[in-house]
Structure formats: structure tokens, C-alpha cells
Structure 1
């Protein structure tokens, strides 16, 4: 019976795991990304290429970590906890959990643009919020049905969106005009300012490279399949991003591109002028793509919170499972939070401003788990526990070092405001950890710190100003060892 249950839980093979990676990476971000990149100029394509290389290195890193810790539940959280202990694990898991549901809010913000374009709607802020709720809760229902339904829907949605995007990335180049590209730096500021604009949305578009690692408990033969799926899914996504983003920049005039939230509709209209169905078709593809990405990320949100809760480092209801091994409470909370976040953002701002704000918040909070994962592998490699030598050691050290520097650079490039907001989120998580750790100490699940003994009334004091001598209080404890 246990073998059958384990096989049911590990429902993801290489095709499904790769589909999960691609589906998590290629959401609706790619459909809005060219408009944001155009604001930085054509230099943004170089930044996108650098981010793609960094994402490929991260894919290799996560494969190495999973091979070393194949049964670790929770991916990035588990790697940090394995190497650095409960506090580092919680910090990593908290940041990743926050970026997951905040990232879902960013995905659905882009998704709303294409729903509006598909149906020709121009709703108010609350109207767009209602559309966003549909995009968030349909994947929640799919996830509540179980991981097999998630895998089936993920594979279908990846095919439906990958082929049309590849079409515009290849055929679209026959319609490109060099005069439509903007200048190298269109940020209106320094080169650094342009890099900051491009780096944020570029990294956001690659978040999901860790999808197979985060769901390793659901993947068959994770020691091999997680690394293969991560690298394959990230590589295919990188090629698609570069081809399509550059093609859209050459299809849509720069002034029109930076003013739209649905640039692929403009690109298809440019390829097939006078054909009303062209723009509607790609809008429909973007809608399906967004649902697929939201579907995969809802699973990742749930798996992250479930793994932390099972270790008693998160509120226990997040570990509640039904007969399909679905952590239903985590799904509900992980969908409710972005729903409320979208209500706040649509009340405060409109258009691309909503999308870019959520992107910036997501980028910095995910850079912290990437950084901690790279440090975990680096610690292992420079310790005496490592099993690799010679060229293999040099290779693995290079992967870890590049991953550390990449995560630091992304944090730096995101800008001061994003780092400030992420710090506030991190501090809020530490408040929750204080209460969780206190509960674990009461239950004997965590070591209780030994406080200095308080001298009895009338005990002698020493030192200036009559202060108690802490060394004297500790002396009996030393003698008793």
C-alpha cells in the first residue's frame, strides 16, 4: 500500500516535470515583457541574455542540490535548513512563499490585460479585480482536485502556448522592420537605470527555474529527473524569450509598444493587418498561458508552505492533506492572499504600474532563496564532507560562485525601493518565527537556550557599580560537567 501511495504522490516524470518548469517560467510575463523591456531600449535584450545564462546556472545548481539531497521536501527551503538549520530554513521558506503568491498576483495582473484585449473590455479597477479573481481561483480548483490533474492541465497548456509563441519568434522575423526598434538606452537616465528596468522584469520572467526542485517529492527519480527537467525547461524558455521579445520590438513601433499592456496583440496585428482574428487569437493564447502558469505556481505555493509546516516551522494547518495528498488549506490561503493584494493594487494604481510594482516585490524576495541555496551548496563544497574532486570540484565551485554573485547582482539591480519593501516583508516573517519558535521550545521540539542563573537574594555581588558577576553565576555549572 505504501509503495502504491508513493507512486501516486510521485506522479511527475520528465515530460511533466519539464512542462511544470516551462509552465511556471512562461506565464503571461512573456506576453507583457516586451513592453517593459522597450522602456529600457534595445540594451534590454542583452540584459535578458545575461539573466538567461544566470537562470541556466541556477538550473544546474538545483539539479546538484537535489542529487545530493534527493528526498528533501520543499526544495530551496529544505536545502537551507539541511545546511544551516531551522532559522535559515524558515527564512528561506518564508521569502519563497511570499514571492510565490505575490508572483501569482503579478502573473494575473498581466493576464487581465489579455482578457480585456480578447473580449474588448475596458473595465474599472474593481472590474479588473473581478477578472483577476477568476484567473486566481480556477487554478486553485484544479489543484484541489489533485496533482495528477495539475500535471495533465500543465502539459496541455504548455503545448497550447509554446507553439504560437515559437511561431511569432520565428515567422515574425519576416515582418520585422529595423526602424521600429528604439535606441540602445531609452530609459531617460544612465545605463544603470536602464539595466534596472530590464533586469527586474527579465528575472521575474525566469522565476520558476526551481519548479522541479520545489516539487521533488512529486517527481519520479528526483536525483536524475529534477536536474534534467530544470535545465531543459529553462533552456527552451530562454530561447523562446529572446526570439519573441526581439521580434515584438521589431514589429511594433516603440511609442506604441511602451504604451500597451498587451504587446503581442499589436505584434500579430502588424503581421496580419486587416485580420481581426489575429489579435484575438494571440490574446486567447495568452489567457490559456496565464492559467497554466497560475496553475503551476499554485502548486508551488502549496508545496512550499506544506513542507515548512510539516517541520513545525509554519502554522500547522498548512500541512493538512486530503486523500489525494493535496494540502488544501495552503491552496486556499495561497490564493486568498494574492486576491487581497490585487484588490489593494487596483484601488491604488492602474495599467502597467500594477504589474511592475508586483514584479519588483517578487524579484527581491526570490533572490534571497536563490542566494541561500547557492550558499548551501558552496558550504558543502568547501567542507570536508564533499565527494567531488579535481575538475568536478572546480566545476561545481564555479556553479555555486556564479549563482551567489548572480543573486546578489539581481538584488542590487532591482533598486532601493524594491529592496526596502522586501526587507519589510522579511521582518514581518521574523515576527511570526518568534512565536513559532517559542511554541516549539515549549513542546520540546527545539533546544531551549540556557539563560544565566539569577543569584539568590543577598548573594554577593562583584564588579564596579555593584553589578552581578556573570562568571561567578556560571562557575557551578562548569564545575558540574
Structure 2
């Protein structure tokens, strides 16, 4: 175990710094795509179908908003001198320690709770792959442990191994999705599409249902910014990777979700947690291997997403701990500069969360609960980041009016988009997020008290040291 970095230590050698930045544009884009497209996309069509075909329009709006956020994060990474930690760093740079801590706290919760949501969907496809029907809670939880701790082991092996694994799983997950998105349209039936509003309530409630899972599907647009410490030439590559990864994911999401809705009858689609299995079986009727193959590829996809999100969860806690705004242990690193403690915690917390949820529910109910928790807790950091850019732009002087208008539009849209997502997620999700925020404030009070006590001790010992030296 090594000690957390100290501001009194000399700067790391340039060669070590270069080694730490192991992600080029291709790997960074792969990390974005791999984090956005996890197992959630293999469950999302069933949830969207519950809202009706209006959900496809909601998905397109969320895709546009996510792309605006990608552009925003690229601008912020170029502007903020130390962008390690991404959203956390932006808020701290503009608004101070408390805002930075609160942003990092909410994003950290969203990241590991999102891992739990991904693995809950992943478990459904593992059970489908191996023909496990009506499993007990402890069987499902045991499968979830594999999905959480295998990526943790890959991350503990080092960032280079993580990047190679991430690129491989991105390729493997794109193949079946592209196949369904293209070939599936030759087998689509108009009769399978459900009503425009299938929620059983108002259109607003249908939009809220679709917005929650749609935003969850795009969480990951910011991972290149969060892991900027690991990206080569972050000022240039973070923004490009974010936009490229988001645009590719958005196009695939819309086309493949619509295709699955047309391949599977509406009543059957809303009742399954593995919608791609019956969708592929429609393309290959009577061939059981097709459903098994898509389940296997969904399992690989989920492992890839969990692999990337374990790194993201670790890096945001490491950045805050390095600045003294998270417990020191999160900045402990090994000889490969891997924040091993953060990786272990990033796997342990969702493991405990899954244990609790599997004893209270199963299937899509677990997935939906975890999605709602992740959505609102990530909307708060998005909002802080957009406001950080807005504050900077309002205070700018001697700038071209057209460029200022463009950047203000981007920041303004990002602010409104974050607010809309929060409202659309529903009262229950906002309540859960508020409880998490208040718990975080208590944590900040403890950390702030310790920092003040340490500052007093340093002030008390400094005069005596100077006197002895004299």
C-alpha cells in the first residue's frame, strides 16, 4: 500500500505521467461508447415500450441533450487548468470546495449505483443464457457478484489492460446491435408497435417513464472528462471522444429500439427483461441458438460497461481525495498508479446494494429502482457543470459576440436539460436523491472539521519550529 499523494511531494517524472495517460482518442472514444452502451440497451426497449412509441421521440430529445453535454464537457476540459475528476473539477474550480465536493459526491453515488443497475440487467441475460428460470435471490445475487468483481480485477491489473479489454467488448457489443438495427427492419411488423401512449396515464407520465431510462442509457457521456488524467492530450481528445461516442451511441439506440418494438409484440415486449432474445428469435424462427448467442453477447457487453464504470467511479473519488475532499484512502495507489482502494469500494457498495434489492424484489423492478436512483444523482453534477460554464461566460470580457452567443446557448441548453431530467424523473427519485445529498453534507462537515483541526495544529507548531531554527 502506498500513501496518498501530498502537495509537498515533487512532481511525478514526465515518463510516469505519460505512462498514466494510456488512453488515446480511439481508446477514450471506446471508453465513452462502452460506458454508454452497457447491458442497459439490451433491457431498454422493454421499458420504453411500457411508455409507448412516444418514447422514441423522448429518446431522440435526450440524445440531443446528451450531445450538447458532450460539447460542454469538452469546452470545460480545455478551460479548467486541472480537470482531473471531470464534473467534480469543473464545479470546484468555479464555485469552491463545497460545490466541488457535492458534485463529486452525487456523481460518485450515481456511478456505483449505476453499476448496480447495469449488473441487474446483466443478471437477466446470464440467466437467459444458461436457462435459469425462477432463480432464488441468492442465485441472482451470486451471478451479480461475478459481474461486479471481474471488472474490478481487470481494473486492478492496470489501465492498459482495462483499455484493451474495453475496446474488445465495444466491438463485440456493436455487432449484434448493428445486426438487429439493420437486418431486423426486414422482419418488422406494424402490428407489433404499441400505442403512442401505453403508460395508462397522461402523456406527461409516459414522457417521465421514458425520460428516466433514456437518460440512464446516456450516462457515460462524461467519462472521458472524468478520466481526463488518463487521456493523452485531454484538451483536444476529451471533447472529440465525448461527441463521437455520444453521437454513435445515440444513432444506434434510436434505430435498434424502434426495430425491437417492431419485432416483438407489444404485450410480450413489456413483460420480458430480455427483449433482444425474442427479437432475434423472430429473425431466426425455430433456431434456439440465436437467442443464446444474443444473450451471450449481452453478457459480454455488460462486463465491458461495468469495466469502464469501475474506472470512472474510482477516478472521481481519487480526484476528490487528492484534494482533501474525500477520505484519504481513495487516493491510495499501487506501483502502477492504480487507486486500488477506490476500485474495491466501487465493487463493494453495489454488491451490498444488490443484496438489499434482491431480498426486496426481482427482475425489472430492481432495474427500474436503480435506474431512477442513478438518473437524479447524475443530473445534479450535470447541472453544476453547466452552471460553472455559464458563470464563466457571463463574466467574460473582450470576446467575439458570435462565439459568446454560441457558448451561452450550449451552456443554457445544458442547464435546462439537466433541470428537465430532474423533474421528469418523478417525485420518488428526487426524494431519494435529496436524502443522498443531505447525507453527503454531513460527510462534508466531518471532512471540513478535520481540515480545520489540522490547520490549527500546523499554525500552533509553526512558530515553535521557527524559534528553534533561530
**TM-score (structure 2 length as normaliser):** 0.94
Aligned runs of 1:185-264 on 2, under 5 Å? Answer: 185-264=197-276
> What residue number does 1:163 align with?
175
Q: List per-residue Cα deviations over 1:79-129 (Å, max 9, x = no partner).
A: 000000000000000000000000000000000010011110122111100
SS in 1 for 2:259: helix
> What residue number does 1:17 align with?
28
> What residue number does 1:452 align with?
none
Q: List per-residue Cα deviations over 1:160-201 (Å, max 9, x = no partner).
A: 001210111011000000000000000000001100110000
Aligned runs of 1:16-35 on 2, under 5 Å? Answer: 16-35=27-46
**CA distance in structure 1 between the aligned counterparts of 2:80 and 2:129, rounded to whole angstroms:** 45
> What residue number does 2:288 align with?
276
> What residue number does 2:300 align with?
288
- Residue of structure 1 aligned with 2:144, choices 114, 120, 132: 132
**CA distance in structure 2 between the aligned counterparts of 1:279 and 1:38, rounded to whole angstroms:** 20
> What residue number does 1:355 align with?
367
1:351 is displaced (CA, Å) by 1.2
Identify if the C-alpha distance between structure 1 residues 74 and 387 changes in structure 2 by more than 3 Å, giving closer, same or farther. farther
**CA distance in structure 2 between the aligned counterparts of 1:217 and 1:71, rounded to whole angstroms:** 9
8 Å contact kept, 2:321–2:327: yes
Q: List per-residue Cα deviations over 1:209-265 (Å, max 9, x = no partner).
A: 001000001000011100000000000000010011000000000000000000000
- Residue of structure 2 aligned with 1:323, choices 335, 345, 352: 335
1:36 aligns with 2:50: no
SS in 1 for 2:359: helix
8 Å contact kept, 1:441–1:447: no
> What residue number does 1:297 align with?
309
Identify if the C-alpha distance between structure 1 residues 70 and 28 changes in structure 2 by more than 3 Å, giving closer, same or farther. farther
Deviates more, 1:28-37 or 1:439-448: 439-448
> What residue number does 1:428 align with?
439
8 Å contact kept, 1:70–1:222: no
Based on CA coordinates, which of the two structures has the bigger radius of gyration? 1
SS in 2 for 1:444: helix
Q: List per-residue Cα deviations over 1:423-470 (Å, max 9, x = no partner).
A: 00111111111100000111129999xxxxxxxxxxxxxxxxxxxxxx
1:3 is displaced (CA, Å) by 1.6
**CA distance in structure 2 between the aligned counterparts of 1:307 and 1:43, rounded to whole angstroms:** 40
> What residue number does 1:398 align with?
409
**CA distance in structure 1 between the aligned counterparts of 2:152 and 2:246, rounded to whole angstroms:** 25
**When the two structures are aligned, how many residues end up with a matched partner?**
447
**CA distance in structure 2 between the aligned counterparts of 1:330 and 1:446, rounded to whole angstroms:** 29
> What residue number does 1:309 align with?
321
8 Å contact kept, 1:48–1:198: yes
1:56 aligns with 2:75: no
CA RMSD across the alignment: 1.4
1:375 aligns with 2:387: yes
**CA distance in structure 2 between the aligned counterparts of 1:198 and 1:284, rounded to whole angstroms:** 26
> What residue number does 1:441 align with?
452
SS in 2 for 1:71: coil
Q: List per-residue Cα deviations over 1:129-169 (Å, max 9, x = no partner).
A: 00000000000000001110110000000000012101110
> What residue number does 2:17 align with?
6
> What residue number does 2:132 align with?
121
Structure 1: runs of 5+ lacking an equivalent: 449-481
> What residue number does 1:467 align with?
none
8 Å contact kept, 1:18–1:233: yes
8 Å contact kept, 2:192–2:265: yes
**TM-score (structure 1 length as normaliser):** 0.92
**CA distance in structure 2 between the aligned counterparts of 1:186 and 1:70, rounded to whole angstroms:** 48
Q: List per-residue Cα deviations over 1:19-65 (Å, max 9, x = no partner).
A: 00000000001000000000000000000000000000000000000
1:71 is displaced (CA, Å) by 3.3
Q: List per-residue Cα deviations over 1:375-398 (Å, max 9, x = no partner).
A: 0000000003x6742211111000
Identify if the C-alpha distance between structure 1 residues 398 and 259 changes in structure 2 by more than 3 Å, giving closer, same or farther. same
1:180 aligns with 2:192: yes
SS in 2 for 1:348: coil
1:69 is displaced (CA, Å) by 1.6
> What residue number does 1:414 align with?
425
Identify if the C-alpha distance between structure 1 residues 387 and 443 changes in structure 2 by more than 3 Å, giving closer, same or farther. farther
8 Å contact kept, 2:197–2:206: yes
1:73 is displaced (CA, Å) by 1.2
8 Å contact kept, 1:59–1:210: yes
> What residue number does 1:78 align with?
89
**CA distance in structure 1 between the aligned counterparts of 2:370 and 2:58, rounded to whole angstroms:** 20
